[in-house]
Structure 1
Amino acid sequence: MSQTVAIATLGCKTNQFESAAIEEQLRQAGYTIVPFEEGADLVVVNTCTVTARTDAQSRNLIRRARRLNLHARIIVTGCYAQVEPEEIRRIPGVAMVIGNDEKKDLLRYLA
C-alpha cells in the first residue's frame, strides 16, 4: 500500500500552481493523494506571508494539520516558511521546513 499525502495551500495563484506541481510529483512517485481532512501519512502545508493575518492563518493551518493527522510527517513550505523557518520549527508536529527555493525538490527531502 502506498503512503498517503494531503496538501493544504494558502495564498496566491503561484502557491496554487506550485501545490498542484508538488501533488503531481508525489503522485508520480507512488504516493496516494487524499483530502486534507481525511488524514494522511504525509501532509504538505504551502504557506503565505502577505500580512500578519496570513501568517496567523498559516500557523493555524499547520496546527490543524497536526490535529487531523496526529502521526503524519508535516512538511511546511511556501513564503511563510521562507521568512520564518525557526518560528515554524517550534510548532509541535512540524517535521521539516522547506523554503521556496527548495520546494521543487521536495521529493529529494523525502528520500
Structure 2
Amino acid sequence: VMTAMEEGTQQVIEGTKRAEQAKRSLEDIVQVANRIDALVRAITADTIEQTETSRAVAQVMQSVELTAQETSQEAQRVSGALQNLVGVAGELRTFVERFRVEANDGK
C-alpha cells in the first residue's frame, strides 16, 4: 500500500510538472499570438496609409495633367495671337511703306 501511495504521489508530482510546462507553453503561444496580432494590425494600418497616399498621388497626377492640358491650350491661344500679331505687323509695315512712298512722291 505504501508503494502504491508513493507511486501515486510521484505521478501527481509528474502530472503537476507537466501541467506547469503546458501552462508555460500556452503562455508562450499567447504571447506569440499577441505579437502576431500586433504585427497584423501594424501592417493593416500601414496598408491603409499607403492606399491613402496612393490615392492622393493619383489625384495630384490628375491635377498636374489638367494643368498641363490647360497650359497647352493657353500656349496654342498665345501662338495664334502671336501669329495674328505678326500678320497685323506685316499689314502695318505695308501701310507705313505706302505712306512713305506717297509722302516722298508728294514732295
TM-score range, shorter chain: under 0.3
Q: Which has the larger strand fraction?
A: 1
- TM-score computed with the length of structure 1 as normaliser: 0.19
Between Structure 1 and Structure 2, whose CA radius of gyration is higher?
A: 2
**TM-score, scaled relative to structure 2:** 0.19
* Higher RCO (C-alpha 8 Å, min separation 6): 1
